[in-house]
Amino acid sequence: MNGEPRKRISERALSVWRIYGMIGLAVSFIVFAAIIILIIVFDGPKWIIPMLIIVLIGEGYFFIFFIPALRWRRWRYEVREQEIEIQKGLFVVKRTLIPMIRVQHVDSSQGPLLKKYRLASVTISTAATVHEIPALDEEEAEELRYSISRLARVADEDV
Amino acid sequence: MSKKKRLHPISVVANIVKQLKDAILPIILVIIVGNKTISSMWDIAVPFAIIIYTIVIGIVSWIRFTYRLEEGELRIEYGVFVRKKRYIPFERIQGISISQGFLQRMFGVVKVNVETAGNQLGEAEAVLTAVTREEAKQLQRLIQKSKEKAGAIENILPQDESTTSFAQNDQELEQETKNIIFSMSFWEIFQVAVTSGGAFGVISAILIFVLQFDDIIPYEKLYKDAQKFIAHGMFYTVVTIILIFIAAYIISIIQNMMRYAFFTVEKAGENIIISRGLLERKKIAIPTERVQGIVVKENIIRRWFGYASVYIIHAGGAFNEGDPESIVLCPLIEKERIASVILSCLPDYSLNHEFIAPPKRARIRYMIRPLYFLLLPVCIVAYWLRPWGLLLLLLLPMASYFGYLSYRFAGWSISNYQLALRSRFLNVRTVYMLKNRIQSMEFSYNWFQQRKSLGTISATVMSGIGGAQGEVIDLDKEDLQTIYMWFKRTKGE
C-alpha cells in the first residue's frame, strides 16, 4: 500500500464542488432568512439570529473552501493493467481495489455543470459494487472508459 | 414444447388462496366498519362480492397464464387487465428449483421457480405454480440441452458470469452416486429450533399483525381494561407476559422444526443439493461454481456447546429471500466437523487455519467502540430515572466487555487463494472468500486509526441482492499491506 495511486482528478472539480457548496449555501440562506423574518415578526427569541448567522458563515467556509479542497487532495486513482485503484475520503480515507476481471461495465456521465467545465464522471460497476470517479477531464474520461473496457476484456484469470 | 401451455388447474385454488390472504384484512375491516353504519345487508354483500371477485380473478388469471418454450426462450404470457409477456432466454436462466406445497402435494404437481441472474432482482423471475412432475423434468431437460449448445460461448466469459449447469434432471441425478454429506437427526433439528432465538421474530410478527388492526381494535377500551388488570397486581401481569413469551417461543420452535425437518445436503456431480421441510418440501440445487463464499456463524448460545451454522453466499437471486446469507448449508454442526463437510462439497475452500488477530493497541478501541452509541443515551436515561436508573450504568462495562470479546475474536487469514475475515459482536461471523470471487476490496482508515497505524478492511463478493461483505476493523497496517499485496494483481510498480 506504500505509495498512493498516482493520478489525480481534474482540478476543475474544485470549481464544480465550490458551486455545489454555493448552491447549498443559497438554500440555507433562504431558509435561515425565513426563520429570521419569522422571529422578528412574531417577536421570538432574538439570540437565535446571531447563532444562525454564525452557522451560515461556518457552512460557507466548510462547503465552499475547506471540504472541496480536502476532498480534491485526497482523491486519487490509478488504472493498471490488472486492476483499478481508487482513493478517496475526507475524514476516513478509503482505498479500493477493483480487479479488472471483475469490471462489468464502465459508464461516463455529464450533468450541465460538469459539461460547462468540460468534465465527466466515470462509474465503474462490478457484479456487486459501484465505484465512481467524480470529475475527470472529458477526454480523459472517454479514454479511461475505453481503456478499462479494453483491459477488462483482455484481463485473464490468474487463479 | 412450443405450444402454449397452461398450469394445472389446481393453481386456480392456489391463486385464490393467495388473493384471499391479501384480501382478508379489507374484508374484516368492511365487516367491522359496516356493523356500525349501514344495514346488515351490506355486511354480507360486500365480503361476498370480494370473494366472488377473487374467485373470478383467480380463474381468469389461470386462463390467461400460458407458458411455452420457443426459440431458446421461456415465454410466459399473463395478466388479467394488462397483458404481460415475459421472455427469458435460456442462457439467462441460472437455476430451477422445484418445491411442493400442501396443495401441490395433494394433486401430485410441483411448483417450479425459474431463477435468473442475480443482478436484475425481481426483473425476470418466473414462477410456475403448478405443473406436473413430468413437465417440470422436460423443462429442465430442454433448458439443459440448449445451454449445452451455448456452452462454447460461455467458456469465454469470466467464470461467474457464465450461466452454466444447474441441477440436472432427476434421472441423471439418480444415476450418479448420491453422496449425502450432511444430514440432521430429529434431536439436532430440535436443538436448532430451541436455540434459534426465533421467539423474538414471532412476537414481532404478532405485534405487526396486531398493529395493522390499529383502527379496528378499540385500543382505548383495552387499555383501560389493561390498567384495571395491571392494578390487580404486578404478579398477574408478569405471569401473562411470560406466558405470551413462552407461547411465542413454542410457536417458533414448531416453525423451525417444520422448516428444517429432513434436512439433508447431498453432492451430486457439480451440484450441492439441499432439501428440507415437512409441510413444504424444498429442494435447492446450487452448482458449486456459483458459490461465492462461505459464512460460518456462531451464535452466542450455540458457541457454548461448540456448535456453529454454515451458510453459502450464492450469486442467484430467487433463493435468497432478501438476505445474502439465507442458504443454510448446515443449520447446526459441531465446529470440528465443518472442515470435513466443506471439504467434501466445496473442496476449493479450506477451513482449518490460524487467524491473525488485530494488534494489542487496537484493544482499547474495540472496548470503547460500543460506548460511542451507548454512553449518551444511557447517561441521560440513568439521570432521568434516578436513583434506580443509575443501575443502567452497569450496561457500560458490559458493553465494553462485549467490545473486548469482539477484539478477541476478530482476525484475518490468508491461505493460498482464500481470504478469511472474522468479526464478532454478539455472533462470531467468519467469511471465507476466494480471491477470484472478490469483486472489490476496500481499505479504510480514519484519523484515530491513522495515529495508531491501524485500518479497516472489507471485501465484497457478489450475492443475489448486490453484495455480501466481510469486514475486520482495526488491523495492523502491516497486515493490511499483506492483504493488499495478496489481492493486487499488477505486481511491481
Q: Quick check: A97 and B160 CB within 8 A?
A: no
Q: What is the pLDDT of residue B159?
A: 35
A105-114, B147-156, B373-382: which has the minimum mean pLDDT?
Answer: B147-156
Within 8 A by CB and 6+ apart from B271, the residues are B165, B166, B167, B168, B173, B285, B286, B287, B288
Interface probe for A, chosen from B439, B445, B462, B479 (most Cβ of A below 10 Å), is B439
* Structural contact between residues B115 and B316, judged by C-beta atoms closer than 8 angstroms: yes
Q: Min CA distance, A79 vs chain B (Å)?
A: 10
Mean pLDDT of all residues in B300-315: 83
Among A82, A89, A126, beta carbon nearest to B489: A82
How close is the nearest chain A Cα to the Cα of B138, in Å? Answer: 32
- Distances from the Cα of B218 to the Cα of A135, B39, B222, angstroms: 58, 22, 6
Q: Which residues of B touch A93 (CB under 8 A)?
A: 444-446, 450
Q: What band does B458 get if pLDDT is binned at 50, 70 and 90?
A: very high
pLDDT, mean of residues B365-392: 86
SS (H, E, C) B237-257: HHHHHHHHHHHHHHHHHHHHH
For residue B446, give the nearest of A91, A99, A100 by CB distance.
Answer: A91
What residue in A sits closest to B485 (Cα-Cα)?
A1
Count how many pairs of residues, chain A against chain B, have C-beta atoms within 8 Å.
93
Q: Hey, are the CB atoms on A83 and B489 less than 8 Å from each other?
A: yes
Taking contacts as CB-CB distances below 8 angstroms, the residues of chain A near B159 are: 157
- Cα–Cα distance for residue pair B330/B147, rounded to 1 Å: 31
Q: Is the Cβ–Cβ distance between A131 and A98 less than 8 Å?
A: yes
Contact B417 A131 (CB under 8 A): no
Q: Which residues of B touch A81 (CB under 8 A)?
A: 489-490
Cα distances (angstroms) measured from residue A6 to each of A87, A102, B199, B442, B492: 10, 22, 54, 17, 14
Which of B446, B461, B487 is closest, CB to CB, to A97? B487
Q: What is the pLDDT of residue A94?
A: 93
Average pLDDT value for residue range B370-382: 87
Q: Cβ contact (<8 Å) for B446 and A93?
A: yes
Query: Do B330 and B341 touch, CB atoms closer than 8 A?
Result: yes
pLDDT of B120 higher than 50: no
Name the closest residue on chain A to residue B489, using Cα atoms. Answer: A82
Cβ-proximal residues to B201 (8 Å cutoff; 6+ apart), any chain: B252
| Res B323: pLDDT | 60
B153: distance to nearest CA of chain A, Å?
Answer: 14
Return the pLDDT at B243.
Answer: 85
- Interface residues of B toward A, Cβ cutoff 8 Å, are 118-119, 158-161, 315, 417, 434-436, 438-447, 450, 460-463, 466-468, 477, 480-481, 484, 487-490, 493
B-chain CB neighbours of A94 within 8 Å are 442-444
Q: Which tops the pLDDT comparison, A53 or B129?
A: A53
Say which amino acid occupies B353: H
Contact check, Cβ <8 Å, A97/B488: yes
Q: What is the pLDDT of residue A155?
A: 54
Closest chain A C-alpha to B467 CA, distance in angstroms: 5
Following DSSP, what letter does each residue of B42-108 receive, concatenated?
HHHHHHHHHHHHHHHHHHHHHHH-EEEEETTEEEEEE-SSS-EEEEEEGGGEEEEEEEE-HHHHHTT
| Chain A, nearest residue to B492 by Cα | A80
pLDDT band, very low/low/confident/very high, at B325 (cuts 50, 70, 90): low
Residue B121 pLDDT grade (very low, low, confident, very high; cuts 50, 70, 90): very low
What's the pLDDT score for residue B201? 65
Report whether pLDDT(B441) > 90: yes
> Looking at chain B, which residue has its C-alpha nearest residue A126?
B439
**Alpha helix segments (H runs only) across B335-476:** 335-345, 363-384, 395-409, 447-451
Distance between CA atoms of B454 and A59, rounded to whole angstroms? 31
Out of B159, B440, B446, closest to residue A157 by CB: B159
Cell 451430486 found at:
B268
Are B440 and A98 a contacting pair at CB < 8 A? yes
Chain A residue at shortest CA distance from B437: A102
Closest partner CB to B462 (pick from A3, A96, A127) = A127
Q: Residue B456 and residue B442: Cα distance in Å, rounded?
A: 8
Q: Is the pLDDT of residue B114 over 60?
A: yes
pLDDT of the residue at A100: 85
pLDDT (0 to 100) of residue B153: 41
Share of chain B above pLDDT 90, in %: 13
DSSP conformation class of A59: H
Chain A residues close to B417, C-beta within 8 Å: 159
Residues whose CB falls within 8 Å of the CB of residue B430, separated by 6 or more in sequence, listed in order? B295, B296, B297, B420, B421, B422
A7 contacts on B by Cβ (under 8 Å): none
On chain B, the residues whose CB falls within 8 A of the CB of A80 are 489-490
Residue B58 CA to its chain's centroid (Å): 29
Q: Which of B118, B443, B446 sits opposite A95 (nearest CB)?
A: B443
User: Would you state the pLDDT for residue A101?
Assistant: 83
Over the stretch B131-149, which tens digit does the pLDDT of each residue have? 888 888 877 777 777 666 5
**pLDDT at res. B232:** 66
pLDDT (average), residues B245-264: 83
CA distance B380 to B389: 10
pLDDT in tens, A7-31: 888 888 899 999 999 999 999 999 9
State yes or no: cis peptide before B89, omega within 30 of 0: no
The CA–CA distances, whole Å, from A109 to A130, A139, B4, B49, B476 equal 14, 12, 44, 53, 38
Strands in B93-100's sheet, in edge-to-edge order, are B126-132, B109-116, B93-100, B281-287, B271-276, B264-268, B179-183
Element of type H or E holding B441: strand B438-446
Over residues B313-340, the mean pLDDT reads 74
- The torsion defined by the Cα of B261, B267, B270 and B274, in degrees rounded to 10, comes to 0
By the 8 A CB rule, do B100 and B280 touch? Answer: yes
Task: DSSP for B346-377, please give it.
Answer: -TT-----PPBPPPGGGHHHHHHHHHHHHHHH
Interchain CB distance below 8 Å, A126 and B490 = no
> What is the rounded average pLDDT for all residues in chain B?
77
What is the nearest CA distance from A125 to chain B, expressed in angstroms? 10
pLDDT winner (highest mean) among A28-37, B176-185, B256-265: A28-37
- Of the residues A76, A96, A105, the best mutation for testing chain B's interface (the one with the most B CB atoms within 10 Å of its CB) is A96
| Nearby residues of A125 by Cβ (< 8 Å), 6 or more positions away | A103, A104, A105, A106, A107, A131
pLDDT at B83: 77
DSSP B147-203: HHHHHHHHTTS-GGGS----PPPHHHHHHSPPEEEEE--HHHHHHHHHHS-HHHHHH
Q: How does DSSP classify residue B437?
A: G
The answer on pLDDT for B36 being more than 70 is: no
Nearest to A128 among B466, B481, B493 (CB): B466
Return the C-alpha cell found at B130: 403448478
From B257's Cα to the closest Cα of chain A, the distance in A is 34
Cβ density class B249-264: b for 16+ within 10 Å, e for less: bebbbeebbebbbebe
- For residue B98, which of B277, B265, B285, B263 has the smallest C-alpha distance? B285
Q: Which residue of B has its CA nearest to A155?
A: B158
What angle (nearest 5°) sits at the alpha carbon of residue B340, between those of residues B336 and B345?
140
Q: Tell whether the model's pLDDT for residue B69 goes beyond 50.
A: yes
Angstroms from A42 CA to nearest CA on chain B: 33
Q: How far is the alpha carbon of B446 from chain A, nearest alpha carbon, in Å?
A: 4
Confidence label for A156 from pLDDT (cuts 50, 70 and 90):
low
Cβ within 8 Å, pair A83-B440: no
How far, rounded to the nearest angstrom, does the alpha carbon of residue B243 sit from its chain's CA centroid?
29
Query: What's the pLDDT tens digit per position in B49-58?
Result: 878 888 888 8
Flag if B489 and A94 touch (Cβ within 8 Å): no
Angle between helices A67-74 and A12-41 (to 10 degrees): 150
B160-176: pLDDT as tens digits: 333 333 444 444 444 44
Residue of chain B minimizing CA distance to A152:
B158
